[in-house]
Amino acid sequence: MLDIKHVYKTFNKGTPVQKEALIDLNLHLDEGDFVTIIGGNGAGKSTMLNAVAGVFELDKGHITIDGNDVTKDPEYKRAKYIGRVFQDPLRGTAGDMWIEENLAFALRRGKNRSFKWGISNKEREQFVELLKTLDLGLEDRLDSKVGLLSGGQRQALTLLMATIKKPQLLLLDEHTAALDPKTAKTVLEMTNKVVTENHLTTLMVTHNMNDAIKYGNRLIMMDHGHVILDISGEEKKNLKVSDLLAKFEEVSGKEFSNDRMMLAK
C-alpha cells in the first residue's frame, strides 16, 4: 500500500543549521496495517509523515502509494489518497467556517470543485449521522463556526474530515498531544474505532509508549531519520515498555531520553 524507498531529506542544506532529517528511510506498509510510530524528539517522525504527504520535495528516494509513484506530486495532488490529522488542532480545520462547510469541503477531497452551490440535504443527513458517532453533541451545531469548538472537539472533527471520504492512507501526527489526558483518550479510542472498522492503512505517531503498544498491529521506532525497530504480530502484543527501552539502547547504543515521552503506565 505504501512504499518509502531510500528517502533522504536535509533541511537548510549548506547552512550552519543544516539538518539531515531523513537518512535512507525505508518502510513498507501492507494494506490494512495500523502502524504506531515512536522515537525521540527530532527523530524525524513528523518529517516522514510530511514526506509521504508531499509537504516538501525529497532530496532522494521514492514514495509509492497504492502502486502510484507520487514522489513528484505536490501535496494537493496526493491528498486524494491521504487523510491527515495534525498535532495542532487549528491546522486541520477552517476555524472561520461552519462545521458543515468543513465536512462538505472534506467530502470533496481529491475531487474537482465546481460552481455547484451549497450542501445537499442528503449530505447534511450524512454529516448528522457521522457527528452523532462522536457523541459530542456536534450534530445539532452544523452551522456553528469551528473556531468556537474546543481543541478536543476540533480534533474529533478533523478525524471525521480525514476519513469521511475513505482514504487509502491515514496519517496521524501526535494528534492527541495537545489535548488534556481525558480528551486525548477519547479521541484515541475514536481513532482506533474508525481505523479498525474501516480497515484503514494508518501511520500514527504517538509520544505515549503504552498507546503505541496498545493500538495497531505493528510498531516502529525511529531514530536519526530512519527506522531502527520494527515489531509486529505476536511479538508486538506481548511487548512491554521496558522491552522497548532495552531494545532502543541495544540498537542505538544510547539511553532513551525524551522528556515528553510517557514511560509510566
Partner 1 sequence: MNIMSWLWDIQGGATLGVIWAIMALGLYLTYRVLNYADLTVDGSLTLGGAVSAVCVAAGVSPILAILIATISGMAAGSVTGFLHTKFKIPDLLAGILTQFALYSINLRIMGKANFGLLNEVTLFSQIKALGIPSKWAGLLVGVVFAVVLIIAVYCFFGTEIGCALRATGNNPHMVRAMGANTKVYIVLGLIVGNGLVAMSGALLAQYQGYADINMGVGTIVIGLAAIMIGEVLFSKKTYFHRLAGVVIGSVVYRIIIAFVLRISLTADTVIKITADDMKLITAIIVVIALIAPGLKDSAVAKLSGKEGD
The owner of cell 541495544 is: 250
Of the candidates 111, 122, 182, 265, which one interacts with partner 1 according to CB under 8 A? 111
Pick the closer one to Mg ion by CB: 34 or 86: 86
Residue 108 binding partner 1, by CB under 8 A: yes
Site size toward Mg ion (CB under 5 A) is 1
DSSP string, 170-234: EEEESTTTTS-HHHHHHHHHHHHHHHHHHT--EEEE-SBHHHHHHSSSEEEEEETTEEEEEEEHH
Q: In angstroms, give the least distance from the CB of 63 to partner 1.
A: 16
User: What is the rounded distance in angstroms from the CA atom of residue 201 to the CA atom of residue 208?
Assistant: 20
Q: Contacts with partner 1: how many residues (CB under 8 A)?
A: 33
The DSSP element (H or E) to which 158 belongs, if any, is: helix 151-163
Cα–Cα distance, 146 to 153 (Å, whole number): 9
Helix (H/G/I), strand (E/B), else coil: 235: helix
CB of 175 to partner 1, least distance (A): 13
Of positions 14, 16, 67, 118, contacts partner 1 by CB under 8 A: 118
What is the enclosing helix (H) or strand (E) of 64?
A: strand 60-65
**Span of 20-28, 41-49, 52-60, 145-153 interacting with Mg ion by CB under 5 A:** 41-49
What span, in angstroms and rounded, lies between the C-alpha atoms of 259 and 265? 15
In the complex, the residues that contact ligand ADP under the rule CB under 6 A are: 11-12, 19, 21, 39, 41-47
- The reply on whether position 80 binds partner 1 by CB under 8 A is yes
Our finding on whether 122 is near partner 1 (CB under 8 A) is no
Residue where the block lists cell 515528553: 260
Q: 29, 2 in Cβ contact below 8 A?
A: yes
Single out the residue of 110, 93, 112, 61 nearest to residue 161, CA to CA: 93
Residue 15 vs 114, nearer CB to partner 1: 114
Q: Does 208 bind Mg ion (CB under 5 A)?
A: no
Distance between CA atoms of residues 149 and 158, nearest Å? 12
Partner that binds at residue 247, options Mg ion, ligand ADP, partner 1, none, CB closer than 5 to 8 Å by kind: none
Partner touching 90 among ligand ADP, Mg ion, partner 1, none, CB below 5 to 8 Å by kind = partner 1
Smallest gap from Cβ 111 to Mg ion, in A, equals 30
Q: Which residue has the cell 525524551?
A: 258
150 vs 242, beta carbon nearer partner 1: 150
Residues that bind partner 1 (CB under 8 A): 53, 74-77, 79-80, 82, 84, 86, 90-97, 101, 104-106, 108-111, 113-118, 161
